[in-house]
Amino acid sequence: MSPLDIHHILKKLPHRYPILLVDRVLEIEHGKRILALKNVTINEPYFVGHFPHRPVMPGVLMLEALAQAAALLSFESGGAGITDDSVVYFVGIDGARFKRPVEPGDQLMLEATIDRAKSGIYKYKTRASVGGETAVEAELMCTMRRIA
């Protein structure tokens, strides 16, 4: 499938600045995998306090970026069951390992692959990398719900 730009992402995800953490989808295979991009810039509000002398992207935000990429994969793969009031929630994180810091100027590549789907719970194998070097990897579990 062709890449998804920010306009399409904004239609699918409920997140907005400063929590929207996916800038572009580069590749997507329906029901299988996604490759997305987060441009990390010094203008991000969390760099003011994390850390002023050596700014690094908080690990929890790297995991959130991976979850947003996984949610986009779910929305693009879900078909007719997905409506405008659908939202994807975290239900678990397993095996999170941080391998390198992510700094302003980095391009964070976000990869998520559907490992399994059962009883409305989706499990993804995820990895974020910079220049081919792993920054974080984790198994994420999410569920899709409708909001009122």
Contact status, residue 144 vs residue 74, Cβ threshold 8 Å: yes
Contact status, residue 36 vs residue 26, Cβ threshold 8 Å: yes
User: Is 7 annotated as catalytic?
Assistant: no
CB neighbours (10 Å) of residue 61?
Answer: 19
**Given the structure tokens 């441009």, which residue do they identify?**
39
What lies within 8 Å, CB to CB, of 129 at 6+ separation is 108, 109, 111, 135
Indicate which residue of 7, 8, 30, 50 is catalytic: 50
What lies within 8 Å, CB to CB, of 40 at 6+ separation is 57, 102, 103, 104, 105, 106, 107, 108
Catalytic residues: 50
